[in-house]
Every structure is written in C-alpha cells, then in structure tokens.
Amino acid sequence: MARRRISTGSHFEELAGYCRAIVADDWVFVSGTAGFDFKGGTISDDPAEQAIQSLKTIDETLTQAGATLADIVRLRVYVSDRAHVEPVSRVLARTFGANRPTNTTIVCQFAVPEMKVELEATALIQRS
C-alpha cells in the first residue's frame, strides 16, 4: 500500500513531527485540525467559527488527496467545554446535511488555550 503525506505547513506539524493527512489507497486520514487560519496566523474566539475554519482546512486537505467533505465516513470532534457542543454541532449539521458521517464528540483540554475545537476525519474516496 503506497502512502502519500499532505502538509499544510502549520508550525504545529513541524513542532510535533506529524503531517496533516496520509492518503493510503482510497483512504484519507486527517489529523486533528484546529480552527487556526494558518495563512493569517489567527484563531477566532467563537467555537462555531473555529469549527468552520477547521472544516475549511480539512476540505482543502481532502481536495489535495482527491476527496471531498462528502467522502468523510468518520469524524471525531473535540471541544474544550460542554457549552461548545451545540454551536459546533450546528455547523457540522449544516456542512454534512444528509451525508452524515459517524461522529464521536469529546470534551477535553487543549495544549493551546485559544483552541476550543479540533476536528479529526477519516475519508473513503468514492471512485466512479
């Protein structure tokens, strides 16, 4: 099985020695992705906006892999507070609509205090 690595150039990838995603055959494994705008070096204080930015980064990563958000079959959602579950869930419901990947949501602490949301995805590329 050939593996291909995809990087966003995030300083977190360099710091922790990981890549944003690995493509293995028709599978794409996307690392936990925070709501940072890596190009601008900023992060919103709003958990819903963090989720939107995280999905944008994941979408760009999946595009490089030859996949789309519709190919996601498993999503792991990490939030820093129970109060963030509902606004983040609303973003996910709007984004995925009827596609509905599996989902596990965990309330946890993050190493970076500005983070309120982190999303991790597994996608299966649909071949026509």
Q: What percent of the chain has pLDDT over 70?
A: 98
* Three-state secondary structure readout of the chain: CCEEEECCCCHHHHHHCCCCEEEECCEEEEEEEECEECCCCEECCCHHHHHHHHHHHHHHHHHHHCCCHHHEEEEEEEECCHHHHHHHHHHHHHHHCCCCCEEEEEECCCCCCCCCEEEEEEEECCCC
Q: What is the pLDDT of residues 46-90, one digit of tens each?
A: 999 999 999 999 999 999 999 999 999 999 999 999 999 999 999
Q: Would you state the pLDDT for residue 92?
A: 98
Q: Domain extents for the chain?
A: 3-124
- What is the fold, at CATH topology level, of the domain defined by 3-124? 60s Ribosomal Protein L30; Chain: A; (3.30.1330)
For the entire predicted model, the pTM comes to 0.93
